[in-house]
Amino acid sequence: MTDRIFTNAVLPDGRSVDLAVRDGRFSAITANLPIDAATETVDLGGRLILPGFVDGHIHLDKSFVGEPWQPHRPAASLRERLAAEKALLAGMRPTAQRADALIAQVAAFGTVAMRSHVDVDATTGLSHLHAVMEAREKWRGRMDIQLVAFPQAGILTCPGTADILAAAIDEGVEVVGGIDPKGMDGDSDGHLDVVFGLADRRGARIDIHLHEGGPDGIAQLHRIAARTSALGLAGRVVVSHAYALGDVDGAMLDGIARALADAGVAIMTNAPGDRAFPPVLHLRQHGVRVFTGSDNIRDAWWPYGNGDMLQRAMLIGYRSGFYRDEDLAIALAMATEEAARAIGLEVPGLDIGKPASFVALQADTLAAAVAAPPAERILVHRGMVSAPS
Amino acid sequence: MTDRIFTNAVLPDGRSVDLAVRDGRFSAITANLPIDAATETVDLGGRLILPGFVDGHIHLDKSFVGEPWQPHRPAASLRERLAAEKALLAGMRPTAQRADALIAQVAAFGTVAMRSHVDVDATTGLSHLHAVMEAREKWRGRMDIQLVAFPQAGILTCPGTADILAAAIDEGVEVVGGIDPKGMDGDSDGHLDVVFGLADRRGARIDIHLHEGGPDGIAQLHRIAARTSALGLAGRVVVSHAYALGDVDGAMLDGIARALADAGVAIMTNAPGDRAFPPVLHLRQHGVRVFTGSDNIRDAWWPYGNGDMLQRAMLIGYRSGFYRDEDLAIALAMATEEAARAIGLEVPGLDIGKPASFVALQADTLAAAVAAPPAERILVHRGMVSAPS
């Protein structure tokens, strides 16, 4: 039994089609589908449809979305920033409610899946994690949420954190995080021993925040690639930000690109506004998977972001100098299928058998939608129109 | 007689007010205005209001907005790009219709005034100008449009262009344009003789596109500043892009910043995505007026842009590393009052006596609106609600 047929849609390849949905998945995609009088139809009015978006890097526990505006407070050091963040969050609604507000906001742009980092440290313990798990439970079936236990304050420099990371995995967290093994924790091997050890023993994936720039950052990337290969973790390790890849070129860049590709380490970039970042096309040419995510959204770290992954794709293209249609398509893929593949969630797509989760909007082509993202969208989640409601 | 009262608005300073309008201008702005039963009221529902936006740099004759999507075509040289542009535009609707479509699009975001560059060269003659003037006439009273005669193909290297620039001014164009005096025309003094000569003799303002980077570009800026001072044109000269200001630092940057400030030369930047650009705060600290504009919007040059000046302010802030409220306010001012002052149009504002042209949106504060621009807006133009209609 067909649940519903969406008529008069335009696929990214330009074909005008109708789409039938059965049990929440596409059961037919073709021009002029025969329509039984008893079948419910939704006319998409010639709109372009794109697969549901995947946010490969978000921080559900940090955002102030839904709270009154908080002016940004400059901080002289990372430790000062972390202290300010804790103080601000203590005065706000509980983390589960803030996470819920942010999930609702990003869902309204068309995101269907995400990887969220969640702070764990010796003082926070698993409290943020439990709160975000509560929000995840509320959204089950409507948003696919994967969690990372993120040691925001370091592992070695914040005693007790290694045990909390292990406890987080015991509670079902899929990914163990890391952060600046040398720059923050002062001991690359000690830090990576903990992270890769947990991944190896518990079967967790890995996602390491790496802000260290230049050759120092490249050296960390080589360490991470080597450990990934040694433990056979290809396809299960992500380095987020990896600014260093934007700081170097020539043989140094080619060398690390080959190492990352050979090891199966993927790179997440949000296309930061005011610093160099990984060269997307160059890395892809070497076989490195590169994807994107919102990163921080209106929090103690910065005031920007709204969680719209189509705008994120625009920013990737804008910052990368993508002008050609095929490059704009790469920018969008980084927010859909490449993100899903990198983090190990079901890959969205407009194909028979895939979940019927998509975004319909007024745009001539996929490239046009990325270059100037339309605000008005019809959202369909597993065959049901979720917005406008 | 009050035309209309807008109730329940929040000003950028946080005050909740009602705003009375008479003859299209604000006649009262205060909390709890007494309201005569006969006076029409519009409830703004606690929305934040911002003054109408000013687009300091747009190309109304180039855009493909309203045309079917055209994939970007790489070009090996500027001449090749210009030839491709001419060929593409020749296959589209007349320039007046395309300009009209773009004005309608930017008006829908809340823009109330703009400076548009219009190509003039030996083969184009005044045809683009006449077409854009036709569109300007259609929008008179709804969009304040100032025009620049822009020698896109050069002046000295495109014989006949100097005469056409003069003819454009004879027809009422307010601003004479220039482009890369050395890099494109190969003769700084020859190029600037024409541009400054026309400004001096005909009373035109000046707006020069300067893409030349590094010390060469800085040298051009010094030449422009010196001529501006010599002719007493302070406040009437703009350099658009001025990428060189993003390429240098230290004494060279401070030196040119002082020269630009002393001469009264303003700088327009659109915050390009993938190259260095002028350091806004540093220039402002030296007293240089810096403002923004959309620049190209979906045309032969690139696929980006939608004409939303609030999004442009976000991009200015994002690219400049503006996190604090006061810096986000500067980004918006660059798209409102600073742009108006730089190009010599009426300065918008939420003050008694100013045109009652404003944008109302759901945002806690001005900084919040810039950091993550809301899509839904109520537009009021000279006291009349223009959208949603």
Give the residue from chain A lying closest to B277, CA to CA.
A274
The C-alpha angle A151, A157, A163, rounded to 5 degrees, equals 55
Give, for A106, the enclosing helix (H) or strand (E).
Answer: helix A95-107
What per-residue confidence (pLDDT) applies to B178? 98
3-state secondary structure of A223: helix
Tell me A244's DSSP state: H
- Cβ–Cβ of A367/B318 closer than 8 Å? no
Report the residue from A304, A317, A364 with minimal CB separation from B318.
A304
**Is the peptide bond preceding residue B34 cis, with omega within 30 degrees of 0?**
no
What per-residue confidence (pLDDT) applies to A31? 95
Mean pLDDT over all residues of chain A?
A: 97
Q: How confident is residue B358, by pLDDT bands cut at 50, 70 and 90?
A: very high
Q: How far is CA A294 from CA A21, A78, B37, B143, B151, in A?
A: 30, 21, 49, 36, 41
Neighbours of B73 (CB within 10 A): 14
How far does Cα A329 stand from its chain's mean position?
17
CATH architecture of B53-343: Alpha-Beta Barrel (3.20)
Domain residue spans in chain A? 4-51+349-387, 53-343
pLDDT higher than threshold 80 for residue A32 = yes
Neighbours of B215 (CB within 10 A): 12
- A198: phi > 0 → left, psi -120 to 50 → alpha, else beta; which? alpha
- Cβ–Cβ of A321/B71 closer than 8 Å? no
What per-residue confidence (pLDDT) applies to B367? 98
Looking at the domain covering A4-51+349-387, what would its CATH class be? Answer: mainly beta
CB pairs under 8 A between A and B: 85
- Cβ–Cβ of B371/A303 closer than 8 Å? yes
**B371 reaches A (C-beta below 8 A):** yes
A320 neighbourhood in chain B, CB within 8 Å: 273-274
Q: How confident is residue A387, by pLDDT bands cut at 50, 70 and 90?
A: confident
What per-residue confidence (pLDDT) applies to B39? 92
- Percent with pLDDT over 90 in chain B: 96
pLDDT higher than threshold 90 for residue A353 = yes
What per-residue confidence (pLDDT) applies to B389? 67
Hey, of A274, A310, A377, which one would you mutate to test binding to chain B, going by the most B CBs within 10 A of its CB? A274
**B74 reaches A (C-beta below 8 A):** yes
Q: What is the pLDDT of residues B227-241, one digit of tens each?
A: 999 999 999 999 999
Tell me B147's DSSP state: E
What per-residue confidence (pLDDT) applies to B79? 87
pLDDT higher than threshold 70 for residue B380 = yes
- Cβ–Cβ of B318/A273 closer than 8 Å? yes
**Which tokens is B123 given?**
């083969």
Residue type (1 letter), A119: D
CB of B184 within 8 A of CB of B212?
Answer: no
**B306 reaches A (C-beta below 8 A):** yes
Question: In terms of DSSP bridges, do strands A290-291 and B175-179 run parallel, antiparallel, or are they unpaired?
Answer: unpaired
Report the residue from B68, B71, B319 with minimal CB separation from A367.
B71
CA distance B75 to B72: 9
- Percent with pLDDT over 90 in chain A: 96
Hey, of B85, B274, B281, B282, which one would you mutate to test binding to chain A, going by the most A CBs within 10 A of its CB? B274
What per-residue confidence (pLDDT) applies to B388? 86
- Cβ–Cβ of B69/A365 closer than 8 Å? yes
What per-residue confidence (pLDDT) applies to B1? 76
- Residue A251 to chain B, least CA–CA distance (Å): 22
Rg of chain B over Cα atoms, rounded to whole angstroms, equals 21
**A13 reaches B (C-beta below 8 A):** no
pLDDT higher than threshold 90 for residue B141 = yes
CA distance B262 to A74: 32
Q: How many residues does chain A have?
A: 389
ipTM exceeding cut-off 0.90 for this assembly: yes
How far does Cα A205 stand from its chain's mean position?
14
CB of B35 within 8 A of CB of B19?
Answer: no
Q: What is the pLDDT of residues B300-342, one digit of tens each?
A: 999 999 999 999 999 999 999 999 999 999 999 999 999 999 9
Residue type (1 letter), B298: R
- Cβ–Cβ of B303/A368 closer than 8 Å? yes
pLDDT higher than threshold 90 for residue A362 = yes
Report the residue from B303, B304, B367 with minimal CB separation from A303.
B367
Q: What is the pLDDT of residues A260-279, one digit of tens each?
A: 999 999 999 999 999 999 99
Tell me A323's DSSP state: -
Neighbours of A250 (CB within 10 A): 7
- Percent with pLDDT over 70 in chain B: 100
CA distance B210 to B230: 20
Answer yes or no: same fold for A4-51+349-387 and A53-343.
no
Q: What is the pLDDT of residues B107-139, one digit of tens each?
A: 999 999 999 999 999 889 999 999 999 999 999
- Residue A268 to chain B, least CA–CA distance (Å): 18
pLDDT higher than threshold 80 for residue A220 = yes
**B328 reaches A (C-beta below 8 A):** yes
Q: Where are the beta strands (DSSP E) in chain B?
A: 4-10, 16-22, 25-30, 41-51, 53-58, 111-119, 144-150, 175-179, 205-210, 237-241, 265-268, 290-291, 358-361, 377-381, 384-387
Q: How confident is residue B182, by pLDDT bands cut at 50, 70 and 90?
A: very high
pLDDT higher than threshold 70 for residue A389 = no
What per-residue confidence (pLDDT) applies to A388? 86
Give the residue from chain B lying closest to A72, CA to CA.
B324
- Residue B275 to chain A, least CA–CA distance (Å): 8
- B264: phi > 0 → left, psi -120 to 50 → alpha, else beta; which? left
What per-residue confidence (pLDDT) applies to A204? 98
Q: What is the pLDDT of residues A161-178, one digit of tens each?
A: 999 999 999 999 999 999
Q: Where are the beta strands (DSSP E) in chain A?
A: 4-10, 16-22, 25-30, 41-51, 53-58, 111-119, 144-150, 175-179, 205-210, 237-241, 265-268, 290-291, 358-361, 377-381, 384-387
What per-residue confidence (pLDDT) applies to B387? 84
Summarize chain B as % helix, strand, coil (round to 5): 35, 25, 40
Give the residue from chain B lying closest to A377, CA to CA.
B375
What per-residue confidence (pLDDT) applies to B192? 98
Nearest residue to B94 via CA among B131, B138, B137, B69: B131
pTM for this model (two decimals)? 0.98
- As a whole number, mean pLDDT of residues B194-208 equals 97
**B10 reaches A (C-beta below 8 A):** no
To the nearest 10 degrees (0 to 180), the angle between helices B188-202 and B161-170 is 20
- Residue B160 to chain A, least CA–CA distance (Å): 33
**B325 reaches A (C-beta below 8 A):** yes
**B14 reaches A (C-beta below 8 A):** no
- Residue B323 to chain A, least CA–CA distance (Å): 6
Give the residue from chain B lying closest to A363, CA to CA.
B69
To the nearest 10 degrees (0 to 180), the angle between helices B188-202 and B214-230 is 30
- As a whole number, mean pLDDT of residues B238-263 equals 98
- Cβ–Cβ of A273/B321 closer than 8 Å? yes
A306 neighbourhood in chain B, CB within 8 Å: 372
CA distance B293 to B59: 10
CA distance A335 to A315: 11
What part of A 233-272 touches B (C-beta under 8 Å)? none
Question: In terms of DSSP bridges, do strands B111-119 and B53-58 run parallel, antiparallel, or are they unpaired?
Answer: parallel
